[in-house]
C-alpha cells in the first residue's frame, strides 16, 4: 500500500447486516469525499445512544433502511477539516458538533462528512467529550416542545423517566421556554433535575405519578408502551402524549411524507394508541428526531445561558472498544452519556 493510500484511509466502526448481536467491526475505509454543501469533520468525540442499538438491529428500518456496510454513530463533536464550495457558515479549524441526518450516519469514524445545515459551533469553553453529549437529546427536546407540542409559557409538561440524558436537556430547555416541568425518575437524580429547573420531581419507587398527577398539558414518553395508559391518564382533555418509544402512527408517516405502503404500516402500528387517546379526548403523537443546525445553534445559546453541563458516564472508551460501549448502553446501567473518545 502506498503512502498516499494510507493517508487517505480512516478507521470506521461498521456492520454488514442488521443483527440483535452486538458485533461491530473496525475497518479501514477511505476518508469520505465532501459535496459542495458538506463539511468534513475530524471526529474528536462521539456519543453512544439507544438509537445506535436500534440502527444496529434494524428496529427502525421502516423509518430509515440502510445500505451495507453501514458506519454507525448519530452524534459527534470535532474539528472542521475541509468545507465544500457552497459552505458559508464554517471554516477550517472551527470546533463544531452535530446530530447527523438519519440518512447520513457515520459518527463512529475518524472523519465524517455532514451537510452544513446539520452542524453548529460547539458551546463556548466546552470540551469535545461534553459537547458530543448534547445534539441528539437537545434537538429531541427542542423539537418536541416547539414543533410537536407548540408548548406555551405557563403550561405543564410531564416527563416520566426523565432522569436520564433526555431529561438533562429537556428540563432546562422547557424551563427556558417558560413551562412548568414535572419529572419522574430515580432517587439519585432528584437534586440534579430540580437544580436544572424542574418544578417537581417524583421518585418512582416512592410514589405512583398516575395517582398524584392530573390535568397535565403534555407528556413526553421515554418509557414506551408499558406506561402508555398511565401516561395518558394524567393528561387533561385536549392534552397531547408525545412518545419517543411506543410506536409511529399515521400522523407521523404523513408529516414525514413516507410512501403509501409505509403510511399504511405506521397507521396500523399506531392504531391502538391513537384510538385510546381519541376516546379520552386526547392526542397521541410520535417523534423521531431530525438533524437541524439552526435549531442546534439555539440550543447552544440555551446551554450557554443556563450553564447546562450534561452528565458523562465514567466509563471511557476508544473507537476500538465500540462493542463494549454499545453493550454498556444496551444494558441500561449508566450514569450519563457514554462517549467514544478519539485521539
Residue 136 CA to residue 76 CA, distance in Å, equals: 9
Q: Is the pLDDT of residue 4 over 70?
A: no
Band the pLDDT of 336: cuts 50, 70, 90: confident
pLDDT(325) > 60? yes
Each as own residue / partner, the long-range contacts of residues 84-90 (CB below 8 Å, 24 or more positions apart, any chain) are 84/34, 84/35, 84/36, 84/37, 84/38, 84/39, 84/116, 85/36, 86/36, 86/37, 86/116, 87/36, 87/37, 87/38, 87/39, 87/116, 88/116, 89/116, 89/119, 89/293, 90/39, 90/116, 90/119, 90/121
**Phi and psi torsions of 316, nearest 5°:** -115, 135
Kindly state the average pLDDT of the residues 21-32: 97
pLDDT recorded at residue 3? 47
The rounded distance, in Å, linking the Cα atoms of 336 and 158 is 21
Contact 236, 215 (CB under 8 A): yes
Segment 33-48 mean pLDDT: 98
Mean pLDDT along residues 56-61: 94
Closest CA to 12 of 136, 113, 107: 107
Instruction: Give residue 332's pLDDT.
Output: 80
Find the helix packing angle between 165-176 and 135-143, rounded to 10°: 50
Q: Which letter does DSSP use for residue 279 in this model?
A: H
% of the chain with per-residue pLDDT over 70: 98
Under the banding of pLDDT at 50, 70 and 90, the label for residue 7 is low
Q: Band of the pLDDT at 185, cuts 50, 70, 90?
A: very high
Question: Distance between CA atoms of 96 and 90, rounded to whole angstroms?
Answer: 9
% residues pLDDT > 90 (the chain):
90
Note the pLDDT of residue 13.
98
Res. 2: pLDDT tops 80: no
pLDDT per residue as tens digits for the range 138-149: 999 999 999 999
pTM, two decimals, is: 0.93
Cβ contact 39:119 at 8 Å:
yes
pLDDT for 250-272, tens place per residue?
Answer: 999 999 999 999 999 999 999 99
Q: Which of 2-6, 29-33, 144-148, 258-262 has the lowest mean pLDDT?
A: 2-6
C-alpha cell at 312: 458523562
Q: How confident is the model at residue 343 (pLDDT cuts 50, 70, 90)?
A: confident
Instruction: Please determine, for residue 114, whether its predicted confidence score (pLDDT) is greater than 80.
Output: yes
Task: Indicate the average pLDDT of the chain.
Answer: 95
- The mean pLDDT of 225-232, rounded to a whole number, is 97
What pLDDT sits at residue 5?
46
**Segment among 94-103, 152-161, 185-194 with least mean pLDDT:** 185-194
Amino acid at each position: 500500500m502506498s503512502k498516499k493510500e494510507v493517508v487517505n484511509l480512516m478507521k470506521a466502526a461498521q456492520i454488514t447486516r442488521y443483527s440483535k448481536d452486538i458485533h461491530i467491526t473496525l475497518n479501514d475505509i477511505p476518508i469520505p469525499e465532501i459535496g459542495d454543501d458538506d463539511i468534513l469533520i475530524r471526529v474528536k468525540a462521539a456519543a453512544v445512544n439507544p438509537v445506535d442499538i436500534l440502527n444496529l438491529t434494524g428496529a427502525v428500518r421502516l423509518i430509515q433502511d440502510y445500505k451495507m456496510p453501514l458506519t454507525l454513530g448519530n452524534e459527534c463533536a470535532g474539528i472542521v477539516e475541509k468545507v465544500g464550495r457552497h459552505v458559508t457558515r464554517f471554516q477550517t479549524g472551527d470546533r463544531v458538533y452535530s446530530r447527523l441526518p438519519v440518512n447520513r450516519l457515520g459518527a463512529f469514524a475518524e472523519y465524517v462528512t455532514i451537510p452544513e445545515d446539520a452542524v453548529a459551533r460547539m458551546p463556548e469553553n466546552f470540551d469535545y467529550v461534553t459537547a458530543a453529549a448534547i445534539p441528539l437529546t437537545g434537538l429531541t427536546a427542542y423539537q418536541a416542545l416547539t414543533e410537536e407540542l407548540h408548548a406555551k409559557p405557563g403550561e405543564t409538561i410531564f416527563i416520566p423517566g426523565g432522569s436520564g440524558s433526555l431529561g438533562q436537556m429537556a428540563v432546562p430547555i422547557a424551563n427556558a421556554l417558560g413551562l412548568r416541568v414535572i419529572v419522574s425518575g430515580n432517587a439519585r437524580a432528584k437534586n440534579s433535575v430540580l437544580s436544572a429547573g424542574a418544578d417537581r420531581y417524583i421518585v418512582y419507587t416512592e410514589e405512583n405519578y398516575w395517582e398524584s398527577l392530573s390535568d397535565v398539558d403534555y407528556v413526553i414518553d421515554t418509557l414506551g408502551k408499558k406506561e402508555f395508559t398511565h401516561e395518558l391518564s394524567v393528561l387533561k382533555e385536549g392534552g397531547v402524549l408525545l412518545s419517543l418509544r411506543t410506536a409511529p402512527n399515521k400522523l407521523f408517516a404523513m408529516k414525514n411524507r413516507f410512501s403509501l405502503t409505509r403510511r399504511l404500516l405506521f397507521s396500523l402500528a399506531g392504531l391502538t394508541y391513537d384510538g385510546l387517546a381519541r376516546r379520552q379526548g386526547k392526542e397521541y403523537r410520535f417523534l423521531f428526531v431530525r438533524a437541524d443546525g439552526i435549531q442546534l445553534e439555539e440550543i447552544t445559546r440555551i446551554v450557554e445561558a443556563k450553564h447546562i453541563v450534561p452528565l458523562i458516564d465514567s466509563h471511557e472508551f476508544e473507537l476500538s472498544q465500540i462493542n463494549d460501549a454499545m453493550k454498556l448502553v444496551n444494558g441500561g446501567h449508566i450514569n450519563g452519556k457514554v462517549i467514544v473518545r478519539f485521539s
